[in-house]
Amino acid sequence: MTAELPVATEPIVALTPTAVRQVKRQQEKTGKQGWYLRLGVRGGGCSGLSYVIDMENEPDPEFDSVYNVDDVNVVVDRKSALFLQGSTLDYNIKNLMEGGFVFNNPQAMRSCGCGTSFTAK
């Protein structure tokens, strides 16, 4: 018997339309349509906490909350939600060769230069 995933009443992390398009593009490119977009944090990086962005097929109902943004299923573990609440995930295109996901996080007191880690307030 599989436990039901807890559904967040409001998005923990908002996704911009550009981020949604890029997630769907990546899902299609990797054959992972319908998979969950895993957003989270883990200890590490030059500022103390590093962002996690991944695709996942089976979230854990014991630890994860899910929500949907424009047909993208998003999963965030409960500990990460404390550090990501109110954030926005965007996708910035720097030039024809470079682009990447960027978190705009109100919980971050300081971010590193590369934008992949932060210090929490």
Domains identified in the chain and CATH numbers: 13-115 (2.60.300.12)
Supply 97's token pair.
């060769």
Residue 111 has pLDDT above 80, yes or no: no
Q: Which residue has the higher pLDDT, 113 or 30?
A: 30
Supply 43's token pair.
């200890």
Q: Is the pTM of this model over 0.95?
A: no
The β-bridge partners of 54 are 38
Q: What is the pLDDT of residue 70?
A: 92
Per-residue pLDDT reduced to its tens digit, 41-96: 987 766 578 889 999 999 998 999 999 999 999 999 999 999 999 999 999 887 66
Strand ranges inside the chain, DSSP E: 13-15, 36-43, 49-56, 64-69, 72-77, 87-93, 99-104, 108-111, 117-120
Q: What pLDDT band is residue 1 in, cutting at 50, 70 and 90?
A: very low
